[in-house]
Amino acid sequence: MYVLGLDIGGTSSRALLVDASGRRIGYGKAAGGNPAAHGTETAAANIRQALEPALRGVDPAEVAGAVIGMAGIGALDRPVFDRMWASAGLRCAPVVTGDLGIAFAAGTAEPRGTVLIAGTGAIAARIEGGQPTVISDGLGWLLGDQGSGFWLGREAARAAVHSLGRGESDGLLTRLVAGHVRDSRAGDVPDAGGGAAGAPTGAEQGSGAGWPPVDGRAEAIRIVVHLQGRSPLELARLAPLVSRAAAEGDPDALKIVSMAAGLLCATVAEVRAEGESTPIVLAGSVLTSQGPVYAAVRDGLGAPTVLAGDAAGAAAWLAAREAFGLDDEEARRLHRRILREE
């Protein structure tokens, strides 16, 4: 008998099949399956595409259980999803849940604790019995997501345009942001031969060509106009530049890192009792990359933390725990196997 774990996000869908011993049997990956972002029809098709290689060579009727961690679950048209599920030959009824409990399980087999996710967005939750009971933030890029990748990118852009507006162009973070935007703008305007026309690339401006700008304020306005005409995700793409500049001691980047860590720790404090000793699981690209924000958050929390591992593996573990009726000790052993801790 087997179980399936699926990790469904906006950019990718991943499916993992394991047997009762925790051995990984099949794995598949496809495009994003978030129904809020793609619509249920497209999302279901992408999930189906991830299921195919995961189930290859296996009788789907032998899958005893499945847990699906899905972003955008509120937009799911369940009849459409159920038809896709049945078309894959699966007979078990999947448990479809949000990503907080899955992220927590990706870091620990304990039933209680705290999870902090900081990726493009940011959210924290208190976990009881494997389920979120109190949630903080996760309120979106416009009104929340404090300390997230979007927030980091916005602060990087803010620092850059303010520096340029004052005629200051020598800061590393400012140069990196301006280079990123110049590259993006150049890619938007193809020349007659099909190449990119316009501004020099980030590498060129970093070596001196076209930098510093003759008019810093004009450069700042170009950055503002470019970013305001793009999706908020464009700002999130600036987040790694903060880590890079902070690692080299850029004062603007170090200030942003400190602020982000403070905001993320405050989000955790809203869901966690002071002095609590249960595990804190850190998830999401801002934290699992183990850059300066991760280090500052870890130090700021003042409590033991663990990094989340494979979310599809965590979902498979949750499915196995239920389908195979495991006791606590058996569940912990299986968690270590599936999450490759042993």
| Residue-wise DSSP of 298-311 | HHHH-S-EEE---H
Q: What are phi and psi of 197, to 5 degrees?
A: -105, 160
- CATH code reported for the domain at 2-106+309-338: 3.30.420.40
How does residue 46 score in pLDDT terms, banded at 50, 70 and 90?
Answer: very high
When the pLDDT of each residue in the chain is averaged and rounded to a whole number, the result is 89
How does residue 341 score in pLDDT terms, banded at 50, 70 and 90?
Answer: low
Q: For 111-181+215-308, which CATH superfamily applies?
A: ATPase, nucleotide binding domain (3.30.420.40)
How much is the pLDDT for 60?
95
How much is the pLDDT for 187?
67
| Distance set, CA 97 to CA 102, 137, 182 (Å) | 8, 18, 41
Mean pLDDT score, 215-221: 93
Euclidean distance between CA atoms 7 and 111, whole angstroms: 20
Lowest mean pLDDT among 203-207, 227-231, 233-237: 203-207
More confident residue, 275 or 94: 94
- Say if residue 204's pLDDT is above 60: no
The percentage of residues in the chain with a pLDDT greater than 70, rounded to a whole number, is 92
Euclidean distance between CA atoms 270 and 267, whole angstroms: 5
Mean pLDDT score, 39-60: 94
How much is the pLDDT for 199?
36
How much is the pLDDT for 141?
86
Lowest mean pLDDT among 8-17, 71-80, 190-199: 190-199
Residue type, 204: E
- Say if residue 323's pLDDT is above 80: yes
**Do the first three CATH levels of 2-106+309-338 and 111-181+215-308 match, i.e. the same topology?**
yes
Residue 260: partners with Cβ closer than 8 Å, 6 or more residues away: 147, 151, 152, 155, 242, 286, 293, 296
Q: What is the pTM of this model?
A: 0.84
Nearest CA to 3 out of 48, 67, 52, 51 is that of 67
Q: What are phi and psi of 268, to 5 degrees?
A: -65, -40
Mean pLDDT score, 126-149: 92
- HSE at residue 183, side-chain half, CA atoms within 13 A, is 15
In the chain, domain spans: 2-106+309-338, 111-181+215-308
How much is the pLDDT for 25?
96
- Say if residue 93's pLDDT is above 50: yes
How does residue 188 score in pLDDT terms, banded at 50, 70 and 90?
Answer: low
